[in-house]
Structure 1
Amino acid sequence: MAKPIPEKELQAIEAVVAAHPEGIGIQEIKDELEEDVVRRTLQYRLKHLVDEGRLVKEGEKRWTKYRLPSAAEKAQAATPAEAEEEPAVELPISKESAEIQEYVRKPVRSREHAGYKRSFLDQYRPNETAYLSDKERAHLTEVGSPSSGEQAAGTYAKQILNRLLIDLSWNSSRLEGNTYSLLDTKRLIDFGEEAEGKEQLEAQMILNHKDAIEFLVGSADEIGFNRHTILNLHALLANNLLADPDATGRLRQIAVGIERSAFHPLEVPQMIEECFDQILATAEAIEDPFEQAFFVMVQLPYLQPFDDVNKRVSRLAANIPLIKANLTPLSFTDVPAKTYTEAVLGVYELNRIDLLKDVFIWAYERSASRYAAVRQSLGEPDPFRLKHRAALRDIVQNIVLERLDKKAAFGRIAAWSAQNIKAGEQDQFREIAESEVLGLHEGNFARYQIRPSEFQAWQKVWAGKTEALKNS
C-alpha cells in the first residue's frame, strides 16, 4: 500500500483552496503552494482530500475546480457513503469475524500498534497446519469443480477467459477504489476505449489486470509459487503505476506505511526477501489448491513484499492453483470493498484470519455460481478449436498485423498448416482459420489481441481487395 500522505502537505493544499471560495484549478493550486509538487503527486493528494470529504471537486478535465465543502456537504460526508458504491449484498460473517470488524472500525489512535510478526508465518506447517477446515475445503471443491473430466492445466480458465478478463479485472480494481463501471471496463478491455472523466491511472490499472490474467492463463502449465511467476505478476500489475518504475517486479527496498492502519510492515530488505522466499516455498508445498489460494491471500499482503500493489498480487496469485487444477477461478464478484479492507486489517493488526476467510469462501461460492451459468450458456467447447486455440489466434493476428489481403491470407494459412499441423488435421485447421479471418469484425477482433488501429488499417486493405475482385 502507498505511504501515508503527511498531514501538513494536505493542510497546505486546503489553505490554498480556502483562499478561493469560488473554486480554484489544479495549476493555480500548484503555483500557489510553497512546495514544488509534481502535478501527478498533486492530483493524487487532491483525490485523497476529495475522497475524505475535505474538498469538493467540480467540473471535468481542464474546467475542474476545487473548493472547501459547505456545512451541509460536511454533514453529508460524515455519513458513510460506501453503501452507495458497494454491491447491494450482505456477506454473512461469524461471531469471530464480527469481533474483528468491531476492532478495526475503531479510530486508528485507539488501536494498538502492531509490527510484522514472523512467527505468524513460521507457525504454519504445510499440510499439517490449515487455515481452511476439511469441511470447508470439501465444500469449495464440490462447488468449484466443473464436470469436464481430466484436462490440461488452464483448460477451464481458457474456456471462460473473455468473461474472466472483465470480471476479475473490474472487481480487483474496484477493491482498490477504481471508479470504472463494469460496462466501462468491458469497453476498455474489448475496444481499448477509455471512459470519459476518469483518470488514466484507472484505465492503466484495469489493463494491467488484463495482461496479468492473460499471463496466468496462457502459462497455466508453467506458473507456480516461485519467483518467476510472482515477480512477473507484480511487474504486470504495477506497470506504469509506481513512482519508481524500477520497483516493478522487484522486492521492496524502502519502508512503507499502511494508510488508516496501526500496522507497521517489515523494513529490513534482507528479512523481506527471506520471508518472501519462505512464503513461496510454503505455498508451493501445500497440496490442497484452496488452502494454497487462501494462504497467499493471507501472507503476501501481510509481508508487503513490494512498494505497492501487494493486495492485487495476492488476489491474482490466489488464482494460480485454481487455474492449474481446472477449478473455477476466483473473481471477487460482489465482494464489498469495505468488508475486504476490514478483513485484511484484521490480518495486519491482529493476525486473525476469520473475517478474510468468510470473505474468501463467500466470494468463491459467488464465482462458482456465476461461471457455472456462464459455461452453461456457452455450451460445450469445440475440442479441436480448444486444442489449436493459440495457433488460431497467432495466425489470425499475423494476417491482420501484416495487412494481408484474402489471397495472401489464405496462402499464409495453407503454408503454415503444412509446416506446423499434423497431416490428419491440416484441412480442418485451414477451414477453421479461414472462417475465423472471414468472420473478423469490429465486435470480435480484440480476442486476437489486435488493437483498434491495427484492425482498421487491415480492414481497409481487406475491403479494398475484396471490392476489386468483385469488379474484375
Structure 2
Amino acid sequence: MSLTAPEYGAAFSPALPRRTALNRLQYLRSVGMITLHGATRSSFYALTMHGEWVLSEKPSAGLREEPAKATEDPRVFLCKPLFERKPVGYHMEFLESYQPNASFYLPLNVREHLHEIGKKTGMYAEPAGTYARHICQRLLIDLSWNSSRLEGNTFSLLETEQLLQAGAADDRAQSHEAIMILNHKAAIEFLLESIEIAAFDHRTILNLHALLTADLLQDASAEGALRTVPVGIGRSCYLPTAIPAKIEACFELILAKAQQIQDPFEQAFFAMVQMPYLQPFLNGNKRVSRLIANLPLFQRNLSPLSFVGVSEKDYTEGMLAVYELNDVSLLREVFVQAYERSTQRYTVIRGAIGEPDAFRVKYRQSIAEQVAAVVRARCSRREAVALLRRWAEEGVMEADRKKFVAVTEEVLAGLHEGNFARYRLRPTEFDAWHALWHGK
C-alpha cells in the first residue's frame, strides 16, 4: 500500500490541511511506520512491515496476540535483544479482566503500608487539596523536574527552580525542554485549582494532556485529543492499537474502572499502568499518568508522589514489563519506593514549614478571591486596604475582620511571579498590578 501526501490528506473526512498531513507523515516516518520513496515531485509513502503489523490488528507471523508468559525474572526477559522479543499488540483482556475493588495491582500489605506513611501529613481530615497547597511551591519544582527528567529532560534541579521562578527569560528558556517543565507547572496548578471537581473523567484527562503538551506537538490539534494515527514505543517490541474506535472505547473503560476504585493508591497505580499501556495520545501518555496518579492523593491530603530519586532506567524497565508482559511487578517496585522517598521528603518540609494556619485555612477561598480582586483592579496599597476593609465589613465575622485584612495584606506582600497562578491570575494582570504596587 502506498500513497502520496495529497492522497493521504484527502483520505480523511474532512480532508487534512497540507501542513497537518505532512507533519503526520513526518511523525509516522520517525517511528518507523512508513518510508518515503522517490524524488520530490513523484515521492510517495509506503507502509513498513512494522506499520503493517500495527494497522492489521491481527496476529501474523511473528506478532503475538497475547503478552509473553515469562517464566524468568522480567528483567532477564527485557535484557534480551529486540530481535529475540517478538512483537506483541495491545491485549484488551489485561484491562477488561481488572475488576475494581476486587482485583488489585497493589497487595493489601502494600496498600496498608502506603496509607500509614502517606497519612503522616496529619491533614487527611482537612478540605481536599489542603496539604498539596501547603507544600505547593516545593511540589511544583519537584514534580515538574522529576517527571520531565523521566522523559530525558536535561535541566538540572537548580535550573528548573530558576525557570519556574523567572519564566521564559532567556534563549534556553524557550527550548523544548523548558516548555516541558513550564507545562508541568501549569498542569499541576490546574489539578490543585480544580481539586474539588477534578476526577478520572474525560474533561480532566484531556485538559491535563493539553496543558502538558502545549506547544510541544507539531500538530496543535493533537493537544487534548485522542490519537487517530499509529504510534511506536522506543526500545520495545510492543505495538499499541492503531484503531481510533478501539482507542476511544478502551480510554472510556479505563476512566470508568478508575472512577470505581476506592483505594487512592490502587487508583493512582492503576492509572500509571493502564494509561501508558493504551497510549491514547500522540505523545505525553506517561506524563499524563504520572500527574493524574497524584489526583487521589491530593484529594485525600496524602503525601504526593513526586518521583524523587526514581531512575529513568528503573522506570523504563517497569513500563516495558507492562507493555510486553502485562507484568506490573517492576513498576510496582518503582511506585512503592518512589512514594517512600516522597513521604520522607515532604514530612521534613512540613516540619520546616510548620503547622497550617487554621485562620488561613478557614478563610482560604475568601483570601484568594480578595487578592485576585485587588490585582485585577490594579489597586495601590492604600486602595487595597480600603477595599479589603469594606469587604470584611460585609463578608467576615466581626471578631475576625482585622486579622482577615492583615493576613490578606501579607499575602499581597508576598505575591510574586512564581506564585500568582495560585490566585487564578493571568500574567498580564499580575504584571500590570506588580508594576504599580512596586512603583515601577
2:341 to 366, 369, 376: 366
Query: What is the 5 A alignment of 1:185-334?
Result: 185-194=160-169, 197=172, 200-334=175-309
Using a 3 Å threshold, how does the CA distance of structure 1 residues 261 and 254 change in structure 2: closer, same or farther?
A: same
One-letter amino acid of the counterpart of residue 430, structure 1: V
Distance 1:196 1:298 in 2: 36
- Residue 412 of structure 1 corresponds to which residue in structure 2? 387
**Alpha-carbon shift at residue 221 of structure 1 (Å):** 2.0
- Residue 156 of structure 1 corresponds to which residue in structure 2? 131
**Alpha-carbon shift at residue 414 of structure 1 (Å):** 2.2
Using a 3 Å threshold, how does the CA distance of structure 1 residues 35 and 381 change in structure 2: closer, same or farther?
A: farther
Query: What is the 5 A alignment of 1:321-400?
Result: 321-400=296-375
Deviations 1:313-341 (A, max 9, x none): 10011111111111111000010011111
The SS at the match of 1:179 is coil
Using a 3 Å threshold, how does the CA distance of structure 1 residues 188 and 452 change in structure 2: closer, same or farther?
A: farther
Using a 3 Å threshold, how does the CA distance of structure 1 residues 225 and 382 change in structure 2: closer, same or farther?
A: same
The SS at the match of 1:434 is helix
Q: Which shifted more, 199-208 or 317-326? A: 199-208
Query: What is the 5 A alignment of 1:66-105?
Result: 99-105=73-79
The SS at the match of 1:357 is helix
Distance 2:110 2:281 in 1: 31
Q: Which shifted more, 146-155 or 389-398? A: 389-398
Distance 1:444 1:232 in 2: 21
TM-score (norm 1): 0.74
- 2:165 matches 1:140: no
Distance 1:386 1:360 in 2: 31
Deviations 1:78-110 (A, max 9, x none): xxxxxxxxxxxxxxxxxx999222322333222
Contact 1:265-1:303 at 8 Å conserved across structures: yes
Q: Which shifted more, 98-107 or 444-453? A: 444-453
Report the count of equivalent residues.
Answer: 384
- Residue 62 of structure 1 corresponds to which residue in structure 2? none
Distance 2:35 2:158 in 1: 34
One-letter amino acid of the counterpart of residue 5, structure 1: S
Contact 2:318-2:328 at 8 Å conserved across structures: yes
- Residue 14 of structure 1 corresponds to which residue in structure 2? none
- Residue 76 of structure 1 corresponds to which residue in structure 2? none
Contact 1:3-1:258 at 8 Å conserved across structures: no
Query: What is the 5 A alignment of 1:27-106?
Result: 99-106=73-80
One-letter amino acid of the counterpart of residue 200, structure 2: F
Unaligned segments of structure 1, at least 5 residues: 12-33, 37-95, 466-472
Deviations 1:282-325 (A, max 9, x none): 11111111111111110000001111110001001111111111
1:5 to 30, 35, 38: 30
One-letter amino acid of the counterpart of residue 117, structure 1: H
Contact 1:417-1:430 at 8 Å conserved across structures: yes
TM-score (norm 2): 0.79
- 2:411 matches 1:436: yes
Distance 2:32 2:229 in 1: 21
**Alpha-carbon shift at residue 365 of structure 1 (Å):** 0.3
Contact 2:29-2:35 at 8 Å conserved across structures: no
Unaligned segments of structure 2, at least 5 residues: 1-26, 42-69
Using a 3 Å threshold, how does the CA distance of structure 1 residues 417 and 124 change in structure 2: closer, same or farther?
A: same
**Alpha-carbon shift at residue 452 of structure 1 (Å):** 7.9
Q: CA RMSD in A?
A: 3.0
**Alpha-carbon shift at residue 35 of structure 1 (Å):** 7.0
Using a 3 Å threshold, how does the CA distance of structure 1 residues 197 and 405 change in structure 2: closer, same or farther?
A: closer
One-letter amino acid of the counterpart of residue 90, structure 2: Y
